[in-house]
Amino acid sequence: MASFQTSGLYSKIHHIIKTIGFLVLFLLAFPLTFTITWITLIIHFLTRKPPRINANAKCILLCNGELLQGFGDLQCTMPKKHVRLTLRQLLQRYYSIVICMLLLFVETTILLLSLSAIRRYAETNMELVASLVSYNIRAAVLADDHRAIREVLSIIDQRRHVAESRVYDVKYNLLVSWKSEIIGQTSQAQKMIAKWLFLKPITVPILHNQHEIGHVWLNGDLRELTHFIFLMLLWFTGSLLIMIFGASYLSCRKYSDISISHRMRKQQTFSQQRLSSTVAQLNELSKKNERLKKENNSLAWLLQHDQLTGLLNRSTFQSELTTVIESLSECKYVGVLFIDADHFKEVNDKYGHAAGDYTLITVAQRLRNALRKDDSAARLGGDEFAVLVINIEAVHEVERIARRIVDAMNEPIELPDGTRICQSVSIGIVLSKEMTNAQKLLAQADAAMYHIKRRGGGWYWIFNAKEPDYAND
């Protein structure tokens, strides 16, 4: 006779699976129930209608802009005839419908998830039972011992998990069939649960040396499953009732403490209207102030810059030069570069003033790109430019800047019509460590510029007061 050798192992595994099923349902139900409870409380708290004012209470009414006070039997409630629903009441009904739909949706979702977990639990349980039965009747099937097979199947009745079982040989010829005593006592609810969960009988092969020698067919017992689902529905129903009563109780308790004066203050909207009007005027003034600031900044920029090239103009350049001279360091130079475009008049005469303006804009861009971060460039007028360089410690530093400018200008300029022209520049340089006059430095740089231009241009010259040639320039 085959013995049910793994009954202890089966019992342990069954309890583990059952515990996991309860844990999954608890983890699904508790957080969602807790969240739904607080959502319901908050919505009821925000939308519940306050209690009516007692007729014997002190009333403060606002009539035609005048504040009236009454005591005793002053009636504060509105007549009940032809009362239409207010916007607040409509919103309360709307929120009530939304709450009901939300609770119904969440409740249905939780139930579906729970039923899915239960279905998987039941299928896993039946697969485990079928595997154990297949293992224990393998020897009896090989020996064609029907009595031993029946003894193994009879043990299942004590476990109350299987309602009906059958054992077939490899050709699906019935060897032994067994039915539980409660097979005819299955209630209509159990049949409906089996239909809803799509629970079907399970068939497991009986293997010996990796060969099929028969099959085990099992149909589950739904008594424990029905009891478990009943407890689950009871749990959800109780949670729903707790949410409803808890929300109602807390809402009533909160609104019972609202004072009459607070309610009347909420109805006084004239001060809010005046405040809104004042805020609107302040916003308009703020916008006008911002527009004035932008216009002032734009005008200030136009006053300080050349409109064609975007460089500093003559007056701004002289102001910066004066400021730098007044803060000269003993060990550093301040340098001024006076720049003139060679043969620019020929460009204007040959290609027109539009081409001349484009050439000046290009020269200004290349000049700006050739300078250091702290240097300043300006357009003094016409085709004359000036550069202010600071923190110069040696002459070769300013010479390097002048060479960069000359190299940048040697590249041909392509006009909008595709014509390419060459526009070289002549640069006069003056360096100073001493306190001097801005006009004097500009005049010396201008003299050096004319000195190099008289010699053909396209290069730079550093001013030296000891050279006699400047007297003739």
Residues 232 and 101 in one domain: yes
Contact 462, 403 (CB under 8 A): no
In whole angstroms, what is the distance from residue 127 CA to residue 112 CA?
A: 23
pLDDT over 60 (residue 329): yes
Percent of the residues in the chain that have a pLDDT greater than 70, as a whole number: 62
In a domain, 287, yes or no: no
Contact 119, 128 (CB under 8 A): no
Contact 367, 308 (CB under 8 A): no
Residues 385 and 318 in one domain: yes
Instruction: Give mean pLDDT, residues 226-241.
Output: 74
pLDDT over 60 (residue 50): no
Model confidence band, residue 200 (pLDDT cutoffs 50, 70, 90): confident
The neighbour count for residue 233, using CB atoms within 10 Å, is: 12
Q: What share of the chain is helix, strand, coil (3-state, %, to 5)?
A: 60, 15, 25
Q: Could you tell me where the DSSP H helices lie in 137-164? A: 138-142, 146-159
Domain holding 376: CATH number?
Answer: 3.30.70.270
Residues 155 and 11 in one domain: yes
Q: At which residue do the structure tokens 């699976």 appear?
A: 17
Specify the 3-state DSSP secondary structure of 339: strand
Q: Which residues contact 313 (CB under 8 A, 6 or more apart)?
A: 304, 305, 306, 378, 379
pLDDT over 80 (residue 155): no
Who has greater pLDDT, 471 or 329?
329
The neighbour count for residue 239, using CB atoms within 10 Å, is: 19
Task: Express each pLDDT in 63-120 by its tens digit.
Answer: 334 444 443 444 444 444 445 667 666 666 666 677 667 766 777 777 777 777 777 7
Residue 114 pLDDT? 75
Task: Express each pLDDT in 256-302 by its tens digit.
Answer: 555 455 565 666 555 555 556 667 788 888 888 888 999 888 888 88
Residue 362 pLDDT? 94
In a domain, 387, yes or no: yes
In a domain, 380, yes or no: yes
Average pLDDT across the chain, whole number: 75
In a domain, 331, yes or no: yes
Question: What's the token pair of residue 262?
Answer: 């607070």
Residues 329 and 244 in one domain: no
In a domain, 436, yes or no: yes
Query: Which of 201-215, 315-329, 331-345 has the lowest average pLDDT?
Result: 201-215
Last-in-domain residue among 228, 255, 282: 255
Last-in-domain residue among 255, 286, 305: 255
Instruction: Give mean pLDDT, residues 351-362.
Output: 93
Residues 336 and 246 in one domain: no
- Residues belonging to the active site: 383
Contact 364, 344 (CB under 8 A): no
Last-in-domain residue among 255, 283, 300: 255
Per the structure, the count of domains in the chain is: 2
Residue 135 pLDDT? 80
Residues 137 and 243 in one domain: yes
In a domain, 288, yes or no: no
In a domain, 269, yes or no: no
What pTM did the predictor assign? Answer: 0.42
Task: State which residues form the domain around 371.
Answer: 314-472
In a domain, 27, yes or no: yes
Model confidence band, residue 34 (pLDDT cutoffs 50, 70, 90): low
Task: Express each pLDDT in 368-401 by its tens digit.
Answer: 999 999 899 999 999 999 999 998 888 999 999 9
Specify the 3-state DSSP secondary structure of 168: strand
Instruction: Give mean pLDDT, residues 17-31.
Output: 56
Residues 199 and 320 in one domain: no
